[in-house]
Structure 1
């Protein structure tokens, strides 16, 4: 499996707090624990040529993991469209935290993807609501994160095909924190935790969920549909 971890890599350069937590970048931390699996992991960032998402790179990527926050508008529309098309063609997509507002995710959802938020050291208790799902393998009844940014409903996404996690926050809000979708041959997993000023991606349970999500969205060479005028597989009577 070829996995590409994409990150804006802006907060880490501009904010000392974030740089202290993720000195090599959020993408590097995510790549480090994904690299513990039997997969080939590469990274790409916003300021690279074509955002590191050339046709060649996308063609060889089985799963794209996307983190973004402050520079969604700087992603070229044509490149976002290419990412969307690759998902339709079968590439898996794992969308993390504030990447709910990323151009590829919004294009794939067809909605605003807006929500409520608050950065105030909320405790997050993320409950497993589908314990039979492979993404929850190795997780107990819930994951507790001592300090995180709050996201609250209403989350303007299409009704998820599968709802995996629901979060409760100490301010009283709830949020659909783990949801799956299918577009064409591609599978998508949205996973909420991961605000840049908290060390969330060092949490072993969060890491387990992301690893499971990457494995789940990988399509494992599913059949390519054939469209258009079709020749019969058996002899049939011609039209009179």
Structure 2
């Protein structure tokens, strides 16, 4: 890649600024976006990484910012409805044009993920701080490179099936929880020219974004989703001239 990878880490940043019963500020003094950005920087030292939050003007996701972004990571939970529809439209357009998108944990219920997948994206959940074992089911996939199989997260919110998403193009990780549930915790889709990766580990109540294997997965996901060589515009209807007789 001839030019630096450009990454925008987006977080609604609501839990960090409100009183939260599980002490999120102790785990994430710089916000979850700060921890995610720091983890990416560990594995992508030449990348240009910026952060943006819901309270920024236009949520920090102007056309100029998105045009200067190869991959956008998205974390949301408490304020999905507060994301402006025009920003959702804008993000969708840039994904269809070739920008990569990583949707993290409770971002499964974000407007943009539901829009891109065309389903409710609902799932089963229980937040008892259970043990999660993350199994790689596609070890040849670039997102799984260098990731132990399995790796363990000692305390995490349980996400379980059924997970109402469009059938993934690729299933990379499946998780098992101490309560017996399983979940498709790492999956990919292609939308237009863009690549989308959903990865579930990362609840605000636990220090999951400091976990070294989670950080490696996110960095691998960014590399996989980046397509900086593309001309960034959505596919459209064309009326080409005939190229041969017959």
Residue 116, structure 1, aligned to residue 124, structure 2: yes
Q: 3-state DSSP class of the match of 1:151? A: strand
Whole-angstrom CA distance in 2 between matches of 1:121 and 1:2 = 34
Q: 1:190-235: per-residue Cα shift (whole Å, max 9, x none)?
A: 000000010000000000000000000001424676741112445x
Residue 150, structure 1, aligned to residue 158, structure 2: yes
The alignment of Structure 1 onto Structure 2 pairs a total of residues equal to: 236
Whole-angstrom CA distance in 2 between matches of 1:46 and 1:61 = 17
Q: TM-score, normalised by structure 2?
A: 0.93
* Structure 2 residue corresponding to 1:58, chosen from 62, 66, 69: 66
Q: Residue 22 of structure 1 aligns with which residue?
A: 28
* Structure 2 residue corresponding to 1:13, chosen from 7, 17, 28: 17
Whole-angstrom CA distance in 2 between matches of 1:128 and 1:8 = 29
Unaligned ranges ≥5, structure 1:
none
Whole-angstrom CA distance in 2 between matches of 1:15 and 1:124 = 27
Residue 179, structure 1, aligned to residue 192, structure 2: no
Unaligned ranges ≥5, structure 2:
none
Whole-angstrom CA distance in 2 between matches of 1:220 and 1:43 = 19
Whole-angstrom CA distance in 1 between matches of 2:239 and 2:27 = 56
Whole-angstrom CA distance in 2 between matches of 1:185 and 1:157 = 19
Q: Residue 218 of structure 2 aligns with which residue?
A: 210
Q: Residue 85 of structure 1 aligns with which residue?
A: 93
Whole-angstrom CA distance in 2 between matches of 1:11 and 1:146 = 22
- The answer (yes or no) to whether the contact 2:39–2:209 under 8 Å persists in 1 is no
Residue 49, structure 1, aligned to residue 57, structure 2: yes
| Superposed CA RMSD | 1.4
Q: Residue 188 of structure 1 aligns with which residue?
A: 196
* Structure 2 residue corresponding to 1:69, chosen from 74, 77, 80: 77
| Bigger radius of gyration among the two | 1
* Structure 2 residue corresponding to 1:100, chosen from 90, 104, 108: 108
Q: 3-state DSSP class of the match of 1:107? A: helix
Q: Which has the higher contact order (CA 8 A, sep 6+)?
A: 2
Deviation at residue 6 of structure 1 after TM alignment: 0.2
Deviation at residue 53 of structure 1 after TM alignment: 0.6
